Structure formats: structure tokens, C-alpha cells
Chains A and B, each alone.
Chain A
Amino acid sequence: MDAIFAQATASGRAGVSIIRLSGHQAFDIASKLCNIPTCGRLALRSIKDPNGDLIDRALVLCFDHGASFTGERVVEFHVHGGLATVSKLLAELSKSDGCRLALPGEFTRRALENGNLDLNQVEALSDLIEAETELQRKQAMQVLDGHFSEAGRIWKEKLLRAVALLEASIDFSDDEIPADLHIEVRSIVEATASSIMAVLERSVMASKIRQGFTVAIIGAPNVGKSTLLNSIAGRDVAITSDIAGTTRDVIEVRIDLNGLPVTFMDTAGLRETDDYIEKLGISMSYKRSEAADVRVFLVDSEEDELLISKEPGDIVVQSKADTRDVSGLAVSGKTGKGVSNLLKLVSKKLSPETMLDVAAIRERQVDGLKAANDCLSKTKVFLTQDPLPYELASQELYFACTQLDFVFGKIDIESILDEIFSSFCLGK
């Protein structure tokens, strides 16, 4: 397999740039450029091209096979961050035999291939790189750190035990197998099902944290929605004017609200109109605000009739607080009065009720866990029947394991037999 290399830090001018080289032949390739240091030791080295010309004096760090991110031998060159320095070193590396520029994501792929990361962790790594807010970072870190995979490992270990107990009751019924093994099976299945359920329940919030929340600002024309959005954004993103119907498209602003990624949407004011374009804008407003996690109804006074029905979690706030004295929640987009109170309220409505815990985040994970849980529910029914249909209960558990396989990797018959043989003394 080729050794691969790429600049690990962002491209452009910088104080230091890191170029990473990975592959079983990485040390040999690097040795042609400098005298490489012992693994794990950062050392200053002169990096020279084959003619002996100095490219740069740089810090060099080597990781041995099994001790690096990719699982292969890795050499890092911490060079001065000039564009020319970086491109000279990249050019020298590409001249080496069996050495090429890495494809996007290829270092991570090698980490996966070498078993350093599992698929869930790879996904989490991409989430971590994409993370914009503190909660997104924490959540991705939790998966990357292996908490989700660990939960999967425990479920699989438990179900493997349950399958082994059922299979022992089937295949070794003539041996001295206890008659009440199904009781342990039942308690394993129940515990696993409720644990999977808990993870699934957290998945809605988790996926929101990953993908972001939406908050729609809605109200009658000219009530000050665009001004409020500009105030939230801290800059002018929407055109404001005294003319009703100025906003026609949906305008979005993404902000970090106490760690939550939140997109605020300014929408066209809701009213009857003959203007074709405005009509389209209004119908878009309805659609988008329906799908929003929270709707902020901006009103002139609390007595105003709301134009769409309010749902739990929605907020009603009075506008233009700078021009008048009003009781209750009120904001002024112009002066910023009351805006931070409004944001606090929004943040409170969106905040996760529970502290961050293991959750299925991706659709792939959620689907797999749901399907596994369905199988476990059926297994539970079989386990309460008399006579107990062992082979059907086992079949459902097998289906459940297959579903978990899609999320976490494979359970094998040999591991089931291992469990059977280490638990019971079998053989007449």
C-alpha cells in the first residue's frame, strides 16, 4: 500500500504548518530527507532535498506502527508555515517511490481500516471537525471517545450471553443444563431493551444538537421582525423599511446560543395580499415556521390575534419596546432592549432536559437500534410463552444482533459457542 502525505494544518500562511506522512514505509521515506528522531521524541532537524539543499529546519515527530492515529508508521514535519516551504516539502515527498498525496479523508479511512477507529467514531470525528458550538463538540467527543461504541459492545456482549443460554438449552438439552436459563435470558433481554430505548429517546435531541435548531420569527407585516433578526445577528442581514411586506424570502442567521447551534429565521409578514411574490413568501413562512423548533410570535400587543396556532414552547413577545412602556416580555430590535432576555428564554426552551449522555445521533444508528429493539420486544413475548418456543426466541435475538451488527460490527457463531463452552460443563 502507498504511503500517503498531506498538510494537516489549514493551508495558507501561518507560523507553523504540519505535514503528515503515513504508511509502513514512512520512516524510510522520511530518512531520505532528514535524520529521523526516536519515536515519540520531538526533535529539531535539518530537512534537505537529495542535492543537499536545506529546505527548512523543522521539528520532526515519529509515531511507530500501532501508536499513531492511522495505526501505521507516521512522520510529522512541523515546518515554518510559508507557502513556498510547504509546497517544496510536499513536492519532495511526492518524488519518493510509493508515496502520494492523500485523498480527502484518507488518513481517517486508514484509521478505520486498521481498527483504530470504528465507523461510529469516524462519523464522530467528522462531527468534531464540523462542530461549531460547545455542545456539538462535547457530543462528538463523547462518541469519538468510544462511549457509544462501548454501549454497543455491552449490549452485544449481553445479547451474546442470552443467545448462548438459549442455544445451550437447545443443543445440549441432554446434558446437565439448568432448566431455568430462560429466566436469566428474560432479564438480559429486558435490561438491554430498556437501555437501548433510553439511548433512542435521547437521539432526537442529539441529532438536533448535531444538525442545529431552528427558531422562526413570525408576525404581522411591519411589526419589526427583520429589525429583531438584525439585532440578534449583530449586523444587518435583512433589509428593513417602513413599507409593509419588505421581507419576502426567508432570511436565516446561524448563531451559537450557549453552545446550541441555532438558526433564526426572519419570515415574510403574514397578511392577505395580491402581490404574487409576497404570496409565495408568506406560504414559505407558514411552511418553515411549522417545522421550526420554536416560534417567536412578534406582536404589537399581547391582545393581538396570533395568525397561526401557538404550540407549547412557543414564545409571544411584544415589539418596539423602545417606543412605549409595556408590561410583559417585550423587545426592541432597534435598541436591543429585551433581546438578551428573549435569547435566554429561547435557549431555555431548546436546552436538553438531561445532561449529555450516550445517544444515537446518526440516522443509521437510530434505524439500527429501533429495529433491534423491535426484535427484542418480540423476543420478550416468546420468553413468556409456555411451552417456550426456544428456537423462535433465539431467532428473534439473532435478528436483533444482526441489526446491532449494522451499527457496531459483527457477532459470530464461534463467539456464541465460546460463551456456551465457558459457561457450562458439556459433554456426557
Chain B
Amino acid sequence: MKHFDVVVVGGGHAGCEAIHAACRYGLRAALVTLDKSKTGSMSCNPAIGGLGKGHLVREIDALDGIMGRAADVSGIQFRLLNRSKGPAVQGPRTQSDRELYLQAVQKILAKENFTEIEGEVTGLLSRDGCIDGVMLSDGTSVHSYTVILTAGTFMRGVIHIGDKRVSAGRMGEAAADHLSNQMEQLGATFGRLKTGTPPRLNGNTINWEVLESQPADDDPVMLSFLSQSPSVKQVSCGITHTNQNTHEIIQENLGKSAMYGGHIAGVGPRYCPSIEDKIIRFPDKQSHQIFLEPEGLTTNSIYPNGISTSLPETLQYQYVRSIVGLQNVEILQPGYAIEYDFMNPMGLTRDLETNLLDGLFLAGQINGTTGYEEAAAQGLVAAIGVAKKIKGVPNIKFDRSSSYIGVMIDDLTSRGASEPYRMFTSRAEFRLKLRADNADQRLTEQGWLSGCVSAVRYRAYSKKMERLVACKLVLSSMSVSPNEARSAGIDLGLDGRRRNGHELLAIPGVSVEHVADLEPSFSKSSKATKKQAACEAVYITYIERQRRDVEALAKDLGVEIPKNFNYSIVSGLSSEMISKLSAARPHSLGAAKNIEGVTPAALTAVLLGLKSLELKKAI
């Protein structure tokens, strides 16, 4: 077999993005999966996007990744979350037909030139501290310069249903235990995390008549910048609630739950608790909402979002059937909890390369994250890292002030993960700037220069930018008096100040129509362009203020750090930062900034520390 540039292990969301990006860079790549037919499958809930997560998908898409496109082709219920709130916190989301999603991913991958190998990876090959490929269970060696390991929940995966324990990576699929052992020998330390999934229900046995439903948006917002509209029929979800009876059944049988029966030691996510967790942690809450999400257009399988569990199957029947609309429901596959190994990502570089072996990259749940979107983004980052390493392609800068991907990479590598890490918009301190609507403006140009963005996408992006720039010029050239603004229906105090179009759009309640009334050449712009210009205008003053903060920080970068400065006294510095800074002993804040993995937050903390040191000297 030929020698590869990169071998991607695992065909989940991280693996699929990684292999596709590797191909976009023209790397000689191989994908090793246990089961080819499952490449790109959605193993948990059948939805892509959401708050923070939709932002990640847009960023992946801006770099020509596949997740957004596959979600759009298979989307059966598009909803823009937070539609009534500002553009910075709106997150596109869709439920996808599980089968169509998998097909879409496989179809996109089939267009690329890479080697697909079906098999189980049982070991890593290495030479002189460098990765040299992987070993398969049949004894085959696959040689490569780099390996991206996306093992998901397969590393020492154990599935729990009540007191039943099965070693498995996903329901019905074998776990990968050898890899964990070998990596431990190389010096890796693993922690245990857990996640859960609800029982899948037979939709034909649900009494939909009595349930409320949640329809798709009338005006669907796509996940990919390249998509125009949904490809398939849009469907509604059902909504039901647990009740006192449900809670009593669970309360009485807690001891039989794997989680509370003492069978699971791993830490679960707080934002996606099992129904057992919900009842214990919020005993006063009378009922919990459940979304009944269709898993596809042609299947009768329903995903009841909100009741993941590790109770024994008979009890799952009991409590599910206590819920309105589900009295006669049939369970197609019981819910379960799964425990798996993750490696603390604090040891990784910002390209997600480990320090265990040169050229070994990790992406996805193995790094302590949860969620398809988080995994996919990491797959992409790792592949870019590989391309930089092998071909020396230009870097794509992922930092906190320019992308959610940057926020995630920064969080993972500088703070680690103590529970499964999920993206929220509140994690991004530059949230007003990092919007789903401008992900392309933040990343596509860099992706094009780096070599992972196709000419087709870059052309589409360039055209869009030409239109936007022209439209913004029109807005800048406007000069509207308060009286004129009032005549267009804008409620404005007569302060005598003339305003341009951006300033008008930033006033609460002012719409693009108001401004179009005042300026005919603005009204000629396309609807999408006008909307984009409006999104940007809303936050102008804030983005300007944040830019000044960043600039002020830049000024502070010249601040000198005393040679014997004691980092351990700086409040708010993680122990990782302390050891990094103490080892490197930078002479100035600017030099500290250039140290791999030192975050802006850490710099601010050091600056404050230096300032308080000055104060102390004055004592």
C-alpha cells in the first residue's frame, strides 16, 4: 500500500471534515473506518446547528467544509433560533433526515480522491518519536506522515442500560480498547466522560392528535452560504411533557439507573442532562418539555429530545408510557448511557497536534467535546494543521476575536475540559462581531489563500462582497437630517445631527425599508445585501469599542515584564498558563502573546498583575 500524507481514523463528523479538507489541500489521504456504510452518520440527535453550534457550522462552511451543505440537502425542519433577538445571537438550525444526511456526506466525499479502508485500528505506528501510520486488526500496516485520530466514544467505550454493561463504541459497534492502552504507554492520561441518548420511539404508535406541534420556519435560513432553499419536504415536531407520574416512576427506580446505581464514574454534560439528572437536580419542577423529532421522511423512528436515560429497558417503557401522547408507544431502540475515554486537550497545540508523537493529531470527542459541530470544526482544524506541516500552506488564524472555532480551540487547549465541552454564544467575548451571517467575511479569504477553499466558493464570496461593499458605500454617503428621517417614519429626536445610513440602521426600530425610502440607490441592492448591511450596522459602536479594547491591549503589549515576575500570583491565570509563562519567561507582554497557547484573557490577567505590582511597589 502507498505511503500517505495523512491517515484519518474514524468516519464521524470530525473524520469526514478532516478527510475532505485533506483532499481540498491535495494531500494523499486515507480514511480508516470500522464500517464504510456508516461514514457520516448522525449517532445521536438528528439535528445540525443551533446557538453557537450554527455559528460553528457557518465557519466550517466558510472554509468550504461539508457539514452545512449536507445539512441543507437533508434538512427537514429549518428554524432560525433567536429570530426575535439581534443578529449576533441568531443561530441557524435544522433537523435532518438521518439517512439523507449520511447519503449527502458520502456523495460529497465520493467526489474526492482518497483511499477508504475498512478495518479496526489497533495500534499507532511510530519511528523516532514521530507517527508512522496505523496498524489494523488484520495485521496490515498503513504508513503515513501524520494521523488524525477521531475515535469519538469508541475509546474504551462502555454502554450502560440499567445494570447491563456492554463494551461498545456505539450501539452495535465494537469499542477500541487497544488504542487507549497504547496511548497511555506513550504518556497520555485519559479521563472518563459520559453522554446519553434517549429511547427511539415508533412514530406510528404516538398519538399525535393530542400533542402540540412546532413547525419549520416559513422563511427558512440555510446553514451553508452556498444553499438557497430546502431540498426536501419540511415537517413539524411534536411537543409533550413529563408529569408527576413520570417523575415518581423514575424517582422510585433511581437505584436501577446505571448513572445512579453507581455503575458510571464519568462526568456528564450539565446542559444535556438525563431525565434522571433533571428530576434529582430540579425536584420542584413539575414537568419537563420533550420534543418529538422525526428522524427522517421515510422512517417511523422518532427521537424524543429531552429524556435520555440509562434505566433498564422495562422501566424505560414504564416512564415513557406515562407521558401524554405516548401511552401506547413502542420503543424501537432503548436509551443508553455511554462512558468513554477522553484525553485532556490542554496538552494539544492549537493545531490539535499531541505531544505524544510528532504528527499525531486528535479531533472530536476524544478531546472532551460533545456535539457534531464541535467535532467537525476540530476535524477541519486538524486537517489544516496537517497541511501546514506537510505542505507548508499559509496558516488560517483561529483566535477568540475572529471565530468561534478560535474560541473553542483556545478554551480546549488552555483550559481543558472537565465536562463534555459544548459551544455557547456566551463563550465568545467578541460575540457581536462573530456572527453566523459574517462567518464568510471572517474566514473565506484566509481559507482561499491557505488552499482549502474551492474557486467556486471563492467566486461566489467575492461577488457577494462586491455587492456588499457597493451597498455600504451608498449608506456611508447618505446624510439625513432628523426632519428627513422623521418624514420616512423614523422616530428620532430633533438633535440637529445629520446621520449616514449605517447610523440610521443602528437605531432601534429602524428597518432596511425605512432607509430604502430615504435613498433610492440603497433600495436597488438585493434583499440579502441590504439585510447583511443592516446586521453590521447594529453593532458598529460596540465593535468599535471592542476594537479599541483590543488596541489598548496592543499598546499594553509593550509593557515590560520583570525577569523574576511571579506568574503564580496573578489571579485568573490557569495553571497551564502559569507553567507556560514561567517556562518561557517573556520579556514583554507582546512576547508573552506570541507564546503558543497564551490567551488574550491570560494577557489581560498578566497586565492586571503587573499593574497591581506597581501599586504594591508604591506601598
Interface residues of A (CB under 8 A from B): 104-105, 108-109, 112-113, 115, 119, 122-123, 126, 167, 170-176, 364, 385, 387, 389-392, 394-395, 398, 405-406, 409-410, 412-414, 416-417, 421, 425-428
Q: B78-110, CB under 8 A of A: which get 1 and which 0? A: 000110111011000000000000000000000
The minimal Cβ–Cβ distance linking B425 to chain A, given in whole angstroms, is 6
In the complex, the answer to whether B305 meets A428 with C-beta atoms within 8 Å is yes
The minimal Cβ–Cβ distance linking B537 to chain A, given in whole angstroms, is 13
In the complex, the answer to whether B431 meets A391 with C-beta atoms within 8 Å is yes
In the complex, the answer to whether B282 meets A425 with C-beta atoms within 8 Å is yes
Interface positions of B from 417 to 437, Cβ below 8 Å from A: 424-427, 429, 431-432
Q: B58-88, CB under 8 A of A: which get 1 and which 0? A: 0000000000000000000000011011101
The minimal Cβ–Cβ distance linking A6 to chain B, given in whole angstroms, is 15
In the complex, the answer to whether B89 meets A391 with C-beta atoms within 8 Å is yes
Alpha-carbon distance between A115 and B568 when the two chains are bound, in angstroms: 11
The minimal Cβ–Cβ distance linking A223 to chain B, given in whole angstroms, is 42
Q: B563-585, CB under 8 A of A: which get 1 and which 0? A: 00010110110000000000000
Q: B287 — nearest CB in chain A belongs to which residue?
A: A176
Answer yes or no: B321 CB below 8 A from chain A CBs: no
In the complex, the answer to whether B306 meets A427 with C-beta atoms within 8 Å is yes
Give the residues in chain B near A398, CB-CB below 8 Å: 429
In the complex, the answer to whether A426 meets B270 with C-beta atoms within 8 Å is yes
Q: Determine the main DSSP class of A at the interface with B.
A: helix
Given A395-B432, A409-B571, A428-B289, check contact A390 B85 (CB 8 Å).
yes
The minimal Cβ–Cβ distance linking A110 to chain B, given in whole angstroms, is 9
In the complex, the answer to whether A385 meets B508 with C-beta atoms within 8 Å is yes
Chain A CB within 10 Å, residue with most, of B50, B282, B305, B424? B424
Between-chain CB contacts (< 8 Å), 15 pairs: A104-B619, A105-B619, A115-B571, A119-B615, A122-B616, A123-B615, A173-B51, A387-B84, A391-B88, A395-B542, A410-B605, A417-B426, A425-B288, A428-B272, A428-B290
Give the residues in chain A near B81, CB-CB below 8 Å: 173-174
Total A-B residue contacts, Cβ distance less than 8 Å: 112
The minimal Cβ–Cβ distance linking B605 to chain A, given in whole angstroms, is 7
The minimal Cβ–Cβ distance linking A156 to chain B, given in whole angstroms, is 13
Q: B424-464, CB under 8 A of A: which get 1 and which 0? A: 11110101100000000000000000000000000000000
Alpha-carbon distance between A184 and B571 when the two chains are bound, in angstroms: 30
Chain B CB within 10 Å, residue with most, of A171, A385, A406, A417? A171
The minimal Cβ–Cβ distance linking B600 to chain A, given in whole angstroms, is 13
Given A387-B85, A395-B432, check contact A421 B542 (CB 8 Å).
no
Give the residues in chain A near B415, CB-CB below 8 Å: 414
Of B285, B426, B542, which one neighbours A170 at CB under 8 angstroms? B426
Given A391-B85, A392-B86, check contact A427 B271 (CB 8 Å).
yes
Answer yes or no: B111 CB below 8 A from chain A CBs: no
In the complex, the answer to whether B290 meets A122 with C-beta atoms within 8 Å is no
The minimal Cβ–Cβ distance linking B486 to chain A, given in whole angstroms, is 19
Chain B CB within 10 Å, residue with most, of A174, A175, A416? A174
Answer yes or no: B190 CB below 8 A from chain A CBs: no
In the complex, the answer to whether A105 meets B289 with C-beta atoms within 8 Å is no
In the complex, the answer to whether A389 meets B278 with C-beta atoms within 8 Å is no
Of B88, B270, B619, which one neighbours A108 at CB under 8 angstroms? B619
Answer yes or no: B2 CB below 8 A from chain A CBs: no
In the complex, the answer to whether A113 meets B569 with C-beta atoms within 8 Å is yes
Of B50, B288, B508, which one neighbours A176 at CB under 8 angstroms? B288
Answer yes or no: B608 CB below 8 A from chain A CBs: yes
Answer yes or no: B590 CB below 8 A from chain A CBs: no
Given A167-B426, A425-B282, check contact A390 B86 (CB 8 Å).
yes
Of A115, A123, A175, A425, which one neighbours B281 at CB under 8 angstroms? A425
Give the residues in chain A near B429, CB-CB below 8 Å: 398, 413
Give the residues in chain A near B432, CB-CB below 8 Å: 391-392, 395
Give the residues in chain A near B270, CB-CB below 8 Å: 417, 421, 426-427
In the complex, the answer to whether B619 meets A122 with C-beta atoms within 8 Å is yes
Q: A412 — nearest CB in chain B belongs to which residue?
A: B572
| Interchain residue pairs A-B with the least CB separation, the first 6 | A113-B569, A427-B272, A428-B306, A428-B305, A425-B282, A167-B426
Answer yes or no: B273 CB below 8 A from chain A CBs: yes
In the complex, the answer to whether A171 meets B508 with C-beta atoms within 8 Å is no
Interface positions of B from 526 to 572, Cβ below 8 Å from A: 542, 566, 568-569, 571-572
Alpha-carbon distance between A406 and B432 when the two chains are bound, in angstroms: 23
* Extra A-B contacts (11), CB below 8 Å, given A108-B619, A170-B425: A105-B617, A122-B615, A167-B426, A170-B85, A171-B424, A171-B425, A172-B51, A364-B615, A405-B608, A412-B572, A414-B415
Alpha-carbon distance between A109 and B427 when the two chains are bound, in angstroms: 33
Q: A129 — nearest CB in chain B belongs to which residue?
A: B619
Chain B CB within 10 Å, residue with most, of A108, A389, A409? A389
Give the residues in chain A near B612, CB-CB below 8 Å: 112, 119
Q: B50 — nearest CB in chain A belongs to which residue?
A: A174
Alpha-carbon distance between A123 and B572 when the two chains are bound, in angstroms: 21
Given A391-B86, A421-B271, check contact A109 B281 (CB 8 Å).
no
Give the residues in chain B near A426, CB-CB below 8 Å: 270-271, 273
Alpha-carbon distance between A126 and B608 when the two chains are bound, in angstroms: 20
In the complex, the answer to whether B426 meets A427 with C-beta atoms within 8 Å is no
In the complex, the answer to whether A410 meets B52 with C-beta atoms within 8 Å is no
Give the residues in chain B near A387, CB-CB below 8 Å: 84-85
Alpha-carbon distance between A426 and B269 when the two chains are bound, in angstroms: 10
Give the residues in chain B near A119, CB-CB below 8 Å: 612, 615
In the complex, the answer to whether B273 meets A427 with C-beta atoms within 8 Å is yes
Alpha-carbon distance between A364 and B89 when the two chains are bound, in angstroms: 34
Alpha-carbon distance between A412 and B278 when the two chains are bound, in angstroms: 25
Q: A427 — nearest CB in chain B belongs to which residue?
A: B272
Answer yes or no: B291 CB below 8 A from chain A CBs: yes
Alpha-carbon distance between A105 and B50 when the two chains are bound, in angstroms: 53
The minimal Cβ–Cβ distance linking B582 to chain A, given in whole angstroms, is 13
The minimal Cβ–Cβ distance linking B275 to chain A, given in whole angstroms, is 10
In the complex, the answer to whether B52 meets A171 with C-beta atoms within 8 Å is yes
Give the residues in chain B near A170, CB-CB below 8 Å: 51, 82, 85, 89, 425-426
Q: A176 — nearest CB in chain B belongs to which residue?
A: B289
Give the residues in chain B near A113, CB-CB below 8 Å: 566, 568-569
Alpha-carbon distance between A405 and B601 when the two chains are bound, in angstroms: 13
Give the residues in chain A near B566, CB-CB below 8 Å: 113
In the complex, the answer to whether A390 meets B89 with C-beta atoms within 8 Å is yes
Alpha-carbon distance between A165 and B568 when the two chains are bound, in angstroms: 33
In the complex, the answer to whether A173 meets B569 with C-beta atoms within 8 Å is no
In the complex, the answer to whether B82 meets A112 with C-beta atoms within 8 Å is no
Q: A169 — nearest CB in chain B belongs to which residue?
A: B85
Q: A164 — nearest CB in chain B belongs to which residue?
A: B426
Chain B CB within 10 Å, residue with most, of A105, A115, A428? A428
Of A173, A409, A413, which one neighbours B427 at CB under 8 angstroms? A413
In the complex, the answer to whether A428 meets B273 with C-beta atoms within 8 Å is no
In the complex, the answer to whether B290 meets A389 with C-beta atoms within 8 Å is no
Q: B279 — nearest CB in chain A belongs to which residue?
A: A425
Of B291, B571, B572, B619, which one neighbours A126 at CB under 8 angstroms? B619
Alpha-carbon distance between A405 and B608 when the two chains are bound, in angstroms: 9
Give the residues in chain B near A174, CB-CB below 8 Å: 50-51, 81
Give the residues in chain B near A167, CB-CB below 8 Å: 424, 426
Give the residues in chain B near A109, CB-CB below 8 Å: 616
Give the residues in chain B near A364, CB-CB below 8 Å: 615
Alpha-carbon distance between A406 and B427 when the two chains are bound, in angstroms: 21
Alpha-carbon distance between A406 and B572 when the two chains are bound, in angstroms: 12
The minimal Cβ–Cβ distance linking A427 to chain B, given in whole angstroms, is 4
Give the residues in chain B near A104, CB-CB below 8 Å: 619
Q: A109 — nearest CB in chain B belongs to which residue?
A: B616
In the complex, the answer to whether A425 meets B86 with C-beta atoms within 8 Å is no
Alpha-carbon distance between A66 and B571 when the two chains are bound, in angstroms: 18
Q: B545 — nearest CB in chain A belongs to which residue?
A: A399
Give the residues in chain B near A392, CB-CB below 8 Å: 86, 432, 542
Q: B407 — nearest CB in chain A belongs to which residue?
A: A413
The minimal Cβ–Cβ distance linking B428 to chain A, given in whole angstroms, is 10
Interface positions of B from 575 to 619, Cβ below 8 Å from A: 605, 608, 612, 615-617, 619
Alpha-carbon distance between A171 and B85 when the two chains are bound, in angstroms: 11
Of B51, B289, B508, B605, which one neighbours A389 at CB under 8 angstroms? B508
